[in-house]
Amino acid sequence: MAAITPRSMFEKIWDNHTVAKDENSGEALLFVDRLILTDTSSFHAFDHLRAASYPVRHPKKIFGEPDHFAASRGATLADVADEERRTLVHALGENCAEFGLTHFGLGDPRMGISHVVAPEQGITLPGLFLLCGDSHTSTHGALGALAFGIGGQTAHIMATQCIWQRPLKNMRVSVEGLRAPGVTAKDVILAIINRLGPAGGFGHVIEYAGSAIRAMSVEERLTVCNMSIEAGARSGMIAPDETTIAYIQGRPFAPFGEQWDKAVAYWKTLPSDEDTRFDHELTLDASTLSPMVSWGNTAADVVPVTGHVPDPATESNTDRRSSMERALDYMGLKPGTAMRDLTVDQVFIGSCTNGRIEDLRAAAAVVTKARGQKARVPALVVPGSGLVKAQAEREGLDRIFKAAGFDWGHPGCSMCVGTNGDTVAAGKRCVSTSNRNFVGRQGAGSRTHLASPATAAASALTGRVTDVREFMQGDI
């Protein structure tokens, strides 16, 4: 065994799923362990299966999770915004039933955003290869799975349980040291994307490593991996460790008994071998990071909350300069303005990036600190799943939010993308805990500033972009 080439975790999982290779194209046929279907476009795939009479090869490995159209204002199908979207949500359930797939439909207490629900249910496990049509499928890599978004390959996977893929490159991003108070996992990943640029991860799988990542909870790791795609990477992943194993144990779809022991023994073989060569390496010092907030239209366009809107005039690359100018124009920003001088029109706390229980606790903690202060602007809090909502309500977080004038919504993607009807109006400025600040992302003309749940809650309370550390005086 001694002379074996060291492999990264990504390569180990890839090799373990390789069914065949195509010599001509260099692509590998990979076996898929889990496929998640959302409500947006999976109907094309089912139509395709029916038209060609293909059976679904492994119905038990496929999960239907309506999330994009789920209403924030109510939990039933009747609450979904319009007839067309109701039809699609309903069709997903019908299609899942017809083909024998597991479905967490509206009204099921386990429903929610796919990337929140699957880890929560133990559907996502280390060493698995998991796919979903949605680009933020990279989230699941936080548990040591290989996971990414696929375009229109859903029917192919349902019929063959396999997918053709070109090999990807390996990148390692190491974050070392201790985070300062107020600096969250969201701030860490925004800082990483800022360093890599919006296309810096193109063609790569990013493995996040280092002491600051090891010290993170699984929920924080999910936040980090979720945004890998915003650096252009195909996927993000974190080696499973004791934290991961403890998180998974006892979850409904996780293995148990003898199978559990077998699984854990396998998971321990997954971390990248010591001498693995990565195609690209980046190291960050966590202790130098601050709470971050975005100013532009990619997640790489971020500055510390204490910073200023950058000046395109100082940018020597002409393409970059004109894209900055366009972003500032769209965002209605002037170079040199202090981020903390920006007034905010509304706040959104939720999404597959930051809609988990720890995120809601962090936001509620800021509200509690503000002692009776009310939100100055409309603020919507949307739990990532029904179980997150129930847990938050057991802990009284909903009452904390409501007492401060925040709206408490029903689980789903909601204002992250606005496809359920909850949008940010044109020209309005929204501090959002989601992952994308593209032109029109939260509604035509919407101006999104990405930030952590703590920063978002603080900004709701003051009505301007706020350094959450202002609320932490006396804590340190």
8 Å CB contact between 303 and 288: no
Q: Report the residue number, 303 or 416, with the smaller CB distance to ligand SF4.
A: 416
Residue with tokens 């309903």: 90
Stretch that binds another protein, among 39-47, 321-329, 374-382, 391-399 (CB under 8 A): 39-47
98 scored as a contact of another protein (CB under 8 A): no
Quote the CA–CA distance of 323 and 259 in Å, as a whole number. Answer: 53
260 scored as a contact of another protein (CB under 8 A): yes
Partner interacting with residue 25 (select from ligand SF4, another protein, none; CB below 5-8 Å by kind): another protein
Quote the CA–CA distance of 331 and 305 in Å, as a whole number. Answer: 16
Q: How far is the CB of 319 from another protein (least distance, A)?
A: 13
Q: Where are the beta strands (DSSP E) in 109-249?
A: 129-132, 146-149, 162-165, 169-176, 204-209, 235-237
Partner interacting with residue 136 (select from ligand SF4, another protein, none; CB below 5-8 Å by kind): ligand SF4
8 Å CB contact between 388 and 409: no
Encoding tokens for residue 360?
């809601």
Residue from 11, 134, 230, 467 touching ligand SF4 (CB under 6 A): that is: 134
**Residues 95 to 114 in contact with ligand SF4, rule: CB under 6 A:** 113
231 Rama class: left (phi>0) / alpha (psi -120 to 50) / beta: alpha
For the chain, what is the largest distance between any 2 Cα atoms, rounded to a whole number of angstroms? 66
Give, in order, the Cα–Cα distances in Å from 230 to each of 146, 233, 321, 452: 17, 7, 20, 16
**Residues 2 to 41 in contact with ligand SF4, rule: CB under 6 A:** none
Residue from 138, 194, 433, 435 touching ligand SF4 (CB under 6 A): that is: 435
Stretch that binds ligand SF4, among 166-174, 283-291, 296-304, 412-420 (CB under 6 A): 412-420
Pairing of strands 302-304, 292-294: antiparallel
The stretches of 197-256 forming alpha helices (DSSP H) are: 211-214, 218-226, 242-248
Q: What SS3 state is found at 353?
A: helix
Number of residues binding to another protein, judged by CB under 8 A: 43
Encoding tokens for residue 270?
């997954």
The stretches of 145-280 forming alpha helices (DSSP H) are: 154-160, 185-196, 211-214, 218-226, 242-248, 257-267
Partner interacting with residue 417 (select from another protein, ligand SF4, none; CB below 5-8 Å by kind): ligand SF4
456 scored as a contact of ligand SF4 (CB under 6 A): no
Q: How far is the CB of 267 from another protein (least distance, A)?
A: 10
- Burial of residue 20, with CB atoms counted within 10 A of its CB: 0-12 exposed, 13-18 middle, 19 or more buried: exposed
Residue from 35, 70, 175, 413 touching ligand SF4 (CB under 6 A): that is: 413
Encoding tokens for residue 342?
């920006």
The number of CA neighbours under 13 Å toward the Cβ of 206 is: 36
String marking each residue 136-175 x if it binds ligand SF4 according to CB under 6 A:
x---------------------------------------
410 scored as a contact of ligand SF4 (CB under 6 A): no
Element containing residue 292 per DSSP (H, E): strand 292-294
Stretch that binds ligand SF4, among 3-11, 204-212, 362-370, 409-417 (CB under 6 A): 409-417
Partner interacting with residue 152 (select from ligand SF4, another protein, none; CB below 5-8 Å by kind): another protein
Residue from 94, 149, 210, 368 touching another protein (CB under 8 A): that is: 149
204 scored as a contact of another protein (CB under 8 A): no
**Residues 107 to 126 in contact with another protein, rule: CB under 8 A:** 125
Q: Report the residue number, 4 or 51, with the smaller CB distance to another protein.
A: 51
Number of residues binding to ligand SF4, judged by CB under 6 A: 13
Nearest to 432 by CA among 190, 81, 218, 137: 190
352 scored as a contact of ligand SF4 (CB under 6 A): yes
Q: How far is the CB of 196 from another protein (least distance, A)?
A: 19
Q: Which residue ranges make up the site for ligand SF4 (CB under 6 A)?
A: 67-68, 113, 115, 134, 136, 351-352, 413, 416-417, 434-435
Q: Which residue ranges make up the site for another protein (CB under 8 A)?
A: 16, 19-20, 22, 24-25, 27, 29, 31, 33, 40-41, 43-44, 47, 52, 54, 84-85, 87-88, 125, 127-128, 133, 135, 149, 151-153, 155-156, 159-162, 164, 255, 259-260, 262-263, 266
